[in-house]
């Protein structure tokens, strides 16, 4: 078993002492990097990039060659599970992901095929094991999935949506159908994440990208309930190490208190929730991750540095010395100058020393 040279990300997730604040970026392997664009061009399209083990490993490692990151995250897509369930994922230029089939009725849910993560998504497991080997203990590897609610929105709408009309119609008109779909997805995601852990993932993040579109009670019933089911079914230790779990609901900072009951180790925050308030809310019961506005990276070096320092001041305002991972509040965008993430990352490491020394 390869010794992990840098484990501060895992230590912070478990609220253990760290020498400096760990940092990584959601969507850190992405279109803002010219080397990523070159590899994607070789692959031909996004899905081919995901399904080619060599290319998926290469783009996962690219940001680690540029930046002093404390974690790598598997290069894949949150929609691999619905694709494996036969919905026919494809991408249209400028329009994002779409599905050939949608799930709108009780019969549609009943017709979904049986799911086997290791065989149906073997290309993901091959990527995880290959990346883990290539990292050679440099930093931990994060595996991930979309949340059941988020996956369901794409499956019901047939792609991205601004108002989730069909999904919310199902929620309010035929909630039993949506619950049946979410329950099945929770089982699939649990199996999928456990397979990633078996393949070598050392931490797990569940992306609830659209949980913030729900009303308060509906979030608890249709999103958080199913993430809790997943967390309770996950393998939480491998090779003598704990496997931390992060839940990230974009637009969900107001639900931190009920989130804690899920048993997850950490919660991601977008830029709308003040970190000092969130730290008071969790009161040492969980770690927090986030919450720099990705658009901050469009700014000057001085403005990026200022924003990062203010974020760290908030994170450590309550004199807690661990339990915090710096990150963006959502994925880095394709228009960011590749020089700017370095300012963010280096400022996190350098400035946090005043709080952790």
Known catalytic membership, residue 90: no
CA dihedral 122, 128, 132, 134 (to 10 degrees): 80
Active-site residue, selected from the candidate residues 32, 36, 67, 154? 154
Residue 89, strand partner residues: 99
Known catalytic membership, residue 77: yes
Q: How far is CA 18 from CA 7, 15, 135, 286, 341, in A?
A: 9, 9, 21, 15, 22
Task: Provide the pairing of β-strand 141-146 with 72-73.
Answer: parallel
* Annotated binding-site residue? 31: yes
* Annotated binding-site residue? 28: yes
Active-site residue, selected from the candidate residues 40, 104, 132, 279? 40
CA distance 316 to 322: 9
Whether residue 76 is preceded by a cis peptide bond, meaning omega within 30 degrees of 0, is: no
Nearest to 168 by CA among 215, 228, 207: 215
Known catalytic membership, residue 285: no
* Annotated binding-site residue? 37: no
Active-site residue, selected from the candidate residues 27, 66, 236, 241? 27
- Helices 340-351/301-315 angle, 10° precision: 40
CA distance 251 to 248: 9
Active-site residue, selected from the candidate residues 31, 37, 236, 241? 31
* Annotated binding-site residue? 355: no
Known catalytic membership, residue 40: yes
* Annotated binding-site residue? 66: no
Active-site residue, selected from the candidate residues 37, 66, 77, 293? 77
* Annotated binding-site residue? 76: no
- At 195, list the tokens: 């397979």
Known catalytic membership, residue 324: no
From the DSSP assignment, how many helices (H) and strands (E) are in the chain? 18, 11
* Annotated binding-site residue? 30: yes
Task: Provide the pairing of β-strand 237-238 with 324-325.
Answer: unpaired
Tell me the residue length of the chain: 357
* Annotated binding-site residue? 212: no
- Chain centroid offset of residue 187 CA: 18
* Annotated binding-site residue? 216: no
Where in the sequence numbering do the catalytic residues fall? Answer: 27, 31, 40, 77, 154
**Binding site residue list:** 27-31, 77, 154, 209, 330
**Binding site residue list for substrate:** 27-31, 77, 154, 209, 330
């Amino acid at each position: 078993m390869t010794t992990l040279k840098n484990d501060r990300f895992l230590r912070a997730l478990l609220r253990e002492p760290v020498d400096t604040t760990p940092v990584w970026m959601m969507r850190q392997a992405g279109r803002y990097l010219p080397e990523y664009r070159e590899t994607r061009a070789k692959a031909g399209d996004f899905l081919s990039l995901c399904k080619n083990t060599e290319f998926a490993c290469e783009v996962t490692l690219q940001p680690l060659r540029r930046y002093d990151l404390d974690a790598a995250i598997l290069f894949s897509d949150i929609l691999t599970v619905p694709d494996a369930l036969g919905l026919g994922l494809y991408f249209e230029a400028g329009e994002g992901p779409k599905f050939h089939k949608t799930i709108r009725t009780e019969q549609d849910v009943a017709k979904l095929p049986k799911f086997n993560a290791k065989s149906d998504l073997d290309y993901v497991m091959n990527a995880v094991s290959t990346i883990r080997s290539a990292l050679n203990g440099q930093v931990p590897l994060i595996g991930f999935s979309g949340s059941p609610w988020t996956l369901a929105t794409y499956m019901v709408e047939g792609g991205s949506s601004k108002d989730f009309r069909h999904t919310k119609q199902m929620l309010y008109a035929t909630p039993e159908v949506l619950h049946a779909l979410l329950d099945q997805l929770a089982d699939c995601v649990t199996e999928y994440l456990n397979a990633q852990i078996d393949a070598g993932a050392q931490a797990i993040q569940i992306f609830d990208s659209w949980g913030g579109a729900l009303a308060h009670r509906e979030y608890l019933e249709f999103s958080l309930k199913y993430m809790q089911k997943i967390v309770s079914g996950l393998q939480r230790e491998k090779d003598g190490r704990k496997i931390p779990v992060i839940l990230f609901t974009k637009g969900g900072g107001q639900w931190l208190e009920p989130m804690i009951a899920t048993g997850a180790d950490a919660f991601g925050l977008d830029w709308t929730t003040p970190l000092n308030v969130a730290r008071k809310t969790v009161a040492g019961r969980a770690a927090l991750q986030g919450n720099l506005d990705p658009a901050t990276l469009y700014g000057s070096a001085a403005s990026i540095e200022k924003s990062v320092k203010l974020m760290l001041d908030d994170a450590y305002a309550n004199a807690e010395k661990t339990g915090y991972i710096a990150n963006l509040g959502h994925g880095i965008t394709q228009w960011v100058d590749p020089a700017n993430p370095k300012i963010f990352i280096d400022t996190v490491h350098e400035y946090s020393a005043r709080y952790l020394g």
